[in-house]
Structure 1
Amino acid sequence: MRGNCCHGQDHHFSRTFKRARAAWYWMHSSSRNPSQLHRQFCGCCSDKNTRHPTLTLLFLSSSPGRQPLTKFFSGAYSEHKYLFSLALHLKAATFVRARGSHLWATTSPNPCVSSPSNSGNKTSAINAMTEAAPTHRYPGMGLPLRFWDPLDERGHEAVEKKSIYPMGVHSETFRHMSPLVSVREIAMMIVMEALTDKPEWHKKVFDDAIVAKWRKDALAIPDEVFWDQSTSFKTEDPADPDEHPRYVPPVLNSVGLMSEKAFDWCVEELRAKARHFEETGVVVTLDLGASVAKSDTLVTPALRAELQASFARLKADQASSPDWHPRTDEKVQNLVHPSMYPLVYGRTRVLRQEVVGVADAIARWAGKGEVLAKEDEVETVRYRRPRYRWGGIHSDNVPQDFWSDTFQWLPSNVAFQNDGTVKFTSYINNLHPQKYARTYRALEQLIATSIPLWEQCLVAETFGQSKSTHGHGRRSVRIPVQDEEWNPADMEECADTHVDARLLEPSYYDWRSETEQKWRVLRKAVHPEPGNPKDDDRSYQVPAECRLATKFKDSGLQVIVKMASIELTPDKPVFPAGSWHVEGQMNECICATALYYLDSENITPAHLAFRMPTDHEDVHENTPYEQGEFDWHEQVYGTHVGDGSNAPCLQNYGSVETKQGRLLAFPNVFQHRVSSFRLADPTKPGHRRFIALWLVDPHRRIISTANVPPQQRSWWAEAVLGASTTARKEAVTKFPPELFRLVLRQAESIGDKLTGEMASPGDEATIGPKAPRLPEELVQIIQNHSKDDDTLMSEEEARKHRLDLMSERSRYSDEMNSYWHETTYNFCEH
């Protein structure tokens, strides 16, 4: 494309401006080559009646005295010939660079390659960067949403070689269930969790005098405390006492739930955990079928200060218009939240290459890509066939709406560095990459700090293998299933004991002797004791092959980021308890959470409680019992198990305090729930600020911000016109007057505020020398095209999508909770 072709001479700005044509170009078609694009730009062979999705206006000047507009947008321009192409429908600008006597057009790229069916004969018009980048297919983009293997379609034979980190959304998902655990073992976990919160516990646990005091305190804890934490929240109506197993108070010489042998085990286990803590700074807690990891020391004071500064800046920048999370009574302020500007099928533009970075995300990529359509129903049905399922992950028994075909949170890609740190390679959704560059660096440090905790609590599951053959963590219960034993063992010991006649229920027990009736009322189950702690198969050391940096060094990680502040006031002094949930929907593949509790002021202590579903079939097959006799099991395990008992197959694990400075991590097999808290001093305001990091299963990567350019229309406007009044006025000096007014009129994202800042009296002097007017026909085309443009999202649209996303997830969460409570124990038949 020569600067003087078709016309035989260089063209000055004013002459070319009048002769400019609307160039319509199909970005999905390979039939239009650069020479055809050149003819369209030069006015030759253009088809005015053909309507295509990208409107491009071309301005060319050889006047060396005029400041080139391309310098304002891209910082690169030729010495004598200036070409400026502006996508007035709020896409990123398109430029042409001069090389010698040739001008080379760089069009808005469409890096999304053709579908597999036509990839061999079609190539999209993309720039050099997207041509060099590999094309990716993910569930929902190139692969069906419910497809388990994003690498290939090898079928069932390949499944046996695949690993995942489990998710606890449904019983049909792979290896996410807990064994049934005795109340005594839950008591042991509760005591160990409390002791690891004591200052210098890892040293004191080796001091026998201090341990003796701890023993006395632990044995004095009433059984009701352990019983409540073991049995609460297992029924659909937690307030109904009839739905809980009956607590039987101690009788005769019975031993409490926290026994001497149980505490002996706790001491030995805590000493092993203390040695591990000395090496890693990580405390393993509530560990059984899964585990929680916590640390109050790994986040350095310097990092905490940097994160506090980031929160302060975000809150200051959003002070005039805080984003209160919907349905929280203006108590939760979102600073960064993945539900704003999520991936919206049928709306969001995507690139099939992972090319969107951090620093260049807005200027280079905003508005580019193709709209990602919703999944075809035919594909949905086809990939529900057995050959595409793995261990029940995509079983027909898992409701289809556990995957969202409308929304997806967008993770950021994170790369491992040679020095052991990590680095974002794509922007964080809703955190401006230039404005908050220091926050990016701080979050990178927080992710690097969280990785050892994730490694501690994540154990990959491979089809056909169990955790006992690979990985780490506790591999069995501390107290195995045993035959029932009662205190008193002999019913004759109750013969002379007085029992209220109303408790004997003669209508039911009339076939039994009075002594047996008394014994059944008075007896208490003897809780099994743990074995020898030295024989325990615990293993806290994470094998090298299980390290995330080892397994995923080349592919890196994907992390979803949330930053929020809970604000309480004397008028709104209480934050209510949350609901039981796991994180994300199936298509987001979240495998673990890390929570950093940055700052707490004037609030009461709060806790995060954990529970898991149990494998009711395994419990039924491996628990010895007599037909119709469940009293002993219900007392020992703290749950109803009989026919019609309405006892969900749920296992409580206990809770962890969410205190200031704590980093807490856990796998997404846990259902978790935050407790209520309130102002400590009700006359003063208080707050709780935290950061949530959600790790996407690295075995199953999903669409990320590397594929989705920023959707925020306001970000694009700021990149083009500047964020401040001064920057915008300086930018306007580089605009021809008519072009400035046209952009000002058409760009909805600029709005009334920008008009007030920029369109002040004396515009003619401010915005530069008068330039030729656009031809009337082009003005009309631009106006008609711009008013219907929806390439980028306004904040109003993003808020609407967030409400729809929340409603969808509420329905999903309700359905999931219903399923948990409808899956019950049934020991009525052998």
Structure 2
Amino acid sequence: MNHPHPIDCIESPFSFPPPFENGTDASLFVPGFGGLPVKLELHLEDRFTRATLGWAQDLPTTTRELAMLTLMDKITDRPNWFKEVLDEKAIPKLREKALGQKLISTKAWEWCLLELQDKARVFPEDKRTLVYNTGAGICKSDTIVDEGTRTLLKESIAVFMDSTLAAHDQRRHPAQPMNTIVDPMMYPLIYGKSLYLDGGAVHVADLFGFISKAKVAPEPRSENEWNRKQSDRAGWSLNHQRLPCEAEFTGDTGTEVRVTSYINGIHPGFETLYGAIEKLISHSIKPWNDVLIKDQRRGRTPARVKMYGVSCEPETPCWRKYTDAGKKPGTAEYYTAIQEAKAYCDLPDWDASIESYGTKSSSMYKTTDDIEGWLEKGNCLGFLMWEQHDRLVHPVHPEPSDAYSYQQWKTGLVSEEICKENLTRSNCQYKCPDLDPSFNHEFYNVNLQDTFRNKGLQIIVKIVNVKLTPENPDFRGTHWHIEGSKNDHIVANSLYVFDSTNATASGISFRQENDIYLDDHCDVKDDDEALEDVLTVFAITDKEHIVPGYPCEAPALQELGSVGLPEGRLIAWPNMLHHHLHGVELIDKDKAGCLSYVVLSLVDPYYRICSTRNVVPQDRRWWAEEAIIAAIPPGMIVPREIVDHINSFTGDWQLNPTEAEEVKERMTEDYERHRDLLMNWPANRYSFSHSDYNMFDVPPFLDMRYADGRSKVERGRV
């Protein structure tokens, strides 16, 4: 089957999924090859979602629900949590501790307990649990990967690291704590340079057997500078693509796989390491099933706390009543108003840090006993009440079960209002949009092992070692990012910690993109305090940016929480969630330590992309290794000069470690540029219009100075 040169580089969804092909029986027909554009997107319903214009939460998750999610994550970190939540003797202690946490009310705890009990009943068989599952979710397990596999992985990676074929990142940057031992950005597909097979396959047992039939990978059709910049901004690369390996399912059922093409960065001679990675892929499939998102709008899980709007308490006193009464000394009305004002002003202030009433702060008078004297000086009683109300007023965080019960929620019946007397749209001070009253959530299952059994999966492998020494005792963590670029079509990841020695506890944080325009969702126009209340209830933190008239609204992002990374834990998450790894440091400062983990990235199986089945290995050392094995008797020591001489016969399509590092640096520059654009300019932003301000001027209230002399503009991330 002959295909023309790549037709274009225009991102345009096909009316139906094209018949992708990267097998042995036909010409290569994948993005960038066989006439297909590099920038190829399937329709949303024909693929899994990922970052960059993929999926966003309809509304941000409420602060109350985030507190509930954090609580459930922490409880499921306990060794015997699945027994404790079903044990009537252990539950009271869990309840007491939970109710001491911010925003965990009695209703919130009762909901969490029911949900934890349902999780506990299936945990012994599943060996995994979902956390932070609001729309999207993260799957974690400390037992799904057995100790034998962990030991096998650790030992085989140690052997690999000691070999001459390991990545040179660890040797070139000895002072850098994070060393990527197997790096998918080393020896990637390079358009216009890499050699590929247009039909046929690169066999693990004969890496260079078909090299005479290999062709140079086509370059995307040249674009003008403007189009190239647009591609760059959209997250596409016209230069590189990561190369996944092929993983085929074995047998007729189950999740066991066999890697049938070389893993980029690991020579097939490391058979034990290949076997350990195969086991890790197999263990990742069911967690991926739990987190992959196909529905582009509603995600996998409905909200636990349904948001009708934001109301505040206590009620506003009648300013005119107290102002008028304060002007009538000696009357019964005057003394009644003073007594009411005393009682009101003695109430403790609202402490937003603990979401409760705290201590009494100072006011414009010393004690409530001197209110009468204060009024005799011509002051206004109404203003006094206003000042105290300002200290007390706070938004009310909605509760779970205000709209529907836990039993209704877990079956998707989330359009009912079963507690109208508790929370209805009519008593909300600031309104949320009208929602479809017939809306119910439809749960769905994903089964990679069934749907793609004949096709197999494409997996990108990365192995990282964070090495800590007395000279370099700490690692600061990573930036917010997603895995890969658009070319890689990564839809899910799993991370497995196989070694954590003499290092403090690490973790990984996640955040999601929201789909919200504040003017549509909340009737708070021209009301900065109302906006502040909405942001508080929705746990939106970039308040300095979300202000009327500010020319660059904050990215519509919301941090969900963090998951711990102890040794032996596997976590999986959809690639539409941004993530960053926490820093670690040595526990014993006089000894070395490490945090070592494997990241497996799943290429969307509704696509096929160019893989190591198609691209001839580009590591020049592999070529020399194969040539020596073929020409020299086993056990014979080969002088370095002969190896260099053999290497001299290779073409410029192969790379030595130094050249590979240079390619990686260029690819990293592209990736970091894409990452920064995505992190700072996602598809949505927190928009809020205000006609009173010129959009190119700093609003006056932003220029107010704090006690340290800095303004909000100077203190905020503007």
- Under TM normalisation by the shorter chain, which class is it? 0.7 to 0.9
The counterpart of 2:48, out of the listed 165, 187, 190, is 165
Quote the residue 1:89 is aligned against: none
Q: Deviations over 1:386-423 (max 9, x none)?
A: xxxxxxxxxx9885451111111100011111153111
Structure 1's 352 and 723: CA in aligned 2 closer, same or farther, altered over 3 A? closer
> Residues 520-669 of structure 1: matches in 2 within 5 Å?
520-531=390-401, 532-537=405-410, 546-617=446-517, 620-625=519-524, 627-628=526-527, 629-639=530-540, 640=543, 641-644=546-549, 647-669=554-576
Give 3-state SS (helix, strand or coil) of 1:823's partner. coil
Is residue 2:93 matched to residue 1:213? yes
Out of 383, 397, 414, the position equivalent to 2:247 is: 414
Partner of 2:584: 677
Q: Distance in 2 between matches of 1:829 and 1:279?
A: 58
Equivalent pairs: percent with the same residue? 29
Q: Equivalent of 1:439, from 266, 270, 273?
A: 273
- Displacement, 1:263? 0.7
Q: 2:673 aligns with which of 808, 811, 814?
A: 811
What secondary structure, in the 3-state scheme, does the structure 2 residue paired with 1:655 have? Answer: strand
List runs of 5+ in structure 1 lacking aligned partners: 1-111, 119-129, 150-158, 224-256, 385-395, 504-509, 733-739, 750-785
Question: Which structure has the higher relative contact order (CA within 8 Å, separation 6+)?
Answer: 2
Cα contact 1:325–1:332 (8 A) shared by 2: no
Deviation at 1:166, TM superposition (A): 1.2
Report the AA paired with residue 594 of structure 2. Answer: H
Kept in 1, the 8 Å contact 2:186–2:664? The answer is yes
Distance 1:336 1:625 in 2: 51
- Confirm or deny that 1:698 pairs with 2:581: no
Paired residue secondary structure (1:643): coil
> 1:678 and 1:211 mapped to 2: Cα distance?
35
Q: Does 1:145 align with 2:44?
A: no
Name the residue aligned to 1:429.
264
Match of 1:239 in 2: none
User: In the aligned structure 2, how far is the partner of 1:563 from the partner of 1:745?
Assistant: 28
Q: What SS does the corresponding residue of 2:670 show, helix, strand or coil?
A: helix
Structure 1 residue 167, shift from structure 2 partner: 1.4
The residue correspondences of 1:37-48 to structure 2 (distance < 5 A) are none
Deviations 1:594-617 (A, max 9, x none): 001001110000110000111023
Q: Name the CA distance, whole Å, in 1 between partners of 2:239 and 2:604.
A: 21
- Which residue of the other structure, out of 656, 672, 687, is the alignment partner of 2:594? 687
Report 1:242-391 matches (<5 A). Answer: 257-318=103-164, 323-324=169-170, 329-353=175-199, 355-360=201-206, 362-365=207-210, 369-377=214-222
Asked whether the equivalents of residues 166 and 265 of structure 2 are also in contact (C-alpha less than 8 Å), the reply is no
**Residues 526 and 141 (structure 1 numbering): CA distance in 2 closer, same or farther, change over 3 Å?**
same
Task: Answer yes or no: is the 8 Å Cα contact 1:325–1:334 preserved in 2.
Answer: no
Q: Give how far 1:315 is off.
A: 2.4
**Cα distance between partner residues in 2 of 1:199 and 1:744:** 53
Could you tell me how far 1:131 is from its partner in structure 2?
A: 11
* Distance in 2 between residues matched to 1:479 and 1:131, nearest whole Å: 48
Report deviation, 1:647: 4.1
SS in 1 for 2:572: strand
Q: 1:603 to 1:290 in 2, by over 3 A?
A: same
Distance 2:188 2:6 in 1: 29
Q: Number of paired residues?
A: 586
User: Which residue, out of 662, 665, 676, partners 1:800?
Assistant: 662
Contact 1:485–1:525 under 8 Å retained in 2: yes
Deviations 1:565-604 (A, max 9, x none): 1110011101002100111101100001100100111000
Q: 1:482-512 deviations in whole A, cap 9, x for unaligned?
A: 3333232343777534865689xxxxxx998
User: Is contact 1:567-1:686 (8 Å) kept?
Assistant: yes
- Tell me the residue number matched to 2:82: 202
Give the distance between the partners of 1:685 and 1:329, measured in 2 at CA: 13
Match of 2:345 in 1: 496
Q: CA deviation at 1:816?
A: 2.0
Q: Does 1:485 align with 2:311?
A: yes
Aligned pairs for 1:688-767 (under 5 A) are 688-722=595-629, 727=634, 729=636, 746-748=645-647
Matches of 2:49 and 2:6 in 1, distance apart?
A: 33
**Residues 246 and 456 in structure 2, CA contact (< 8 A), matched pair in contact too:** yes
Aligned partners of 1:723, 1:280: CA distance in 2, in Å?
Answer: 48
Q: Contact (CA 8 Å) 2:508, 2:565: kept in 1 or not?
A: yes
Alpha-carbon distance between aligned partners in 1 of 2:683 and 2:607, rounded to the nearest angstrom: 29
- Superposed CA deviations along residues 755-800 of structure 1, whole A, max 9, x for unmatched, are xxxxxxxxxxxxxxxxxxxxxxxxxxxxxxx59x414222221111
CA contact (8 A) 2:165 2:267 kept: no
2:208–2:616: 8 Å Cα contact kept in structure 1?
no
Give, as a single letter, the amino acid of the residue that structure 2 aligns with 1:536. W
1:448 maps to what in 2? 282
- Report the Cα offset of residue 192 of structure 1: 0.3
Match of 1:457 in 2: 291
Paired residues of 1:565 and 1:689 also in contact (CA < 8 A): yes
Find the aligned partners of 1:278 and 1:350 in 2 and give their Cα distance. Answer: 46
- Greater radius of gyration (CA): 1
CA separation of 1:455/1:479 partners in 2, compared to 1, >3 Å: closer, same or farther? same
Query: CA-atom RMSD, angstroms?
Result: 3.6
SS in 2 for 1:709: coil
Supply the distance in 1 between the matched residues of 2:163 and 2:145 (Cα, whole angstroms). Answer: 26
Contact 2:167–2:183 (CA<8 Å) still a contact in 1?
no
Structure 2 distance, partners of 1:543, 1:440, is: 36
Task: Give 1:220 deviation, angstroms.
Answer: 1.7
Contact 2:196 2:614 in 1 (8 A): yes
Q: Residue 715 and residue 327 in structure 1: after superposition, are their counterparts in 2 closer, same or farther (change >3 A)?
A: closer
Q: How does 1:183-198 map to 2 (within 5 A)?
A: 183-198=63-78
Which letter maps to 2:246? N
Aligned amino acid, residue 221 of structure 2: D
Distance change >3 Å, CA 325–CA 502, structure 1 → 2: farther
CA 1:329–1:620: 2 relative to 1, 3 Å:
farther
CA distance in 1, matches of 2:292, 2:634: 48
Note the alpha carbon deviations across 1:51-83, whole angstroms, 9 max, x for none.
xxxxxxxxxxxxxxxxxxxxxxxxxxxxxxxxx
Deviation for aligned residue 1:321: 8.6
TM-score (norm 2): 0.74
**Separation in 2, partners of 1:685, 1:591:** 36
Shift of 1:368: 5.1
| Residue 648 of structure 1, CA deviation | 3.4
Q: How far apart are residue 366 of structure 1 and its match? A: 5.0
Structure 2 CA distance for partners of 1:117 and 1:651, relative to 1, 3 Å: closer
CA distance in 2, matches of 1:703, 1:400: 23
* Partner deviation per Cα, 1:662-686 (whole Å, 9 max, x = no partner): 0100000110011111001111110
Cα distance change, pair 690–292 in 1 and its aligned pair in 2 (3 A): same
Amino acid at match of 1:371: V
Query: Which AA in structure 2 matches 1:135?
Result: S
> TM-score with structure 1 length normalisation?
0.65
Matched residue of 1:268: which SS?
A: helix
Distance 1:194 1:652 in 2: 17
1:533 Cα deviation from its structure 2 partner: 1.6
| Alpha-carbon distance between aligned partners in 1 of 2:495 and 2:123, rounded to the nearest angstrom | 19
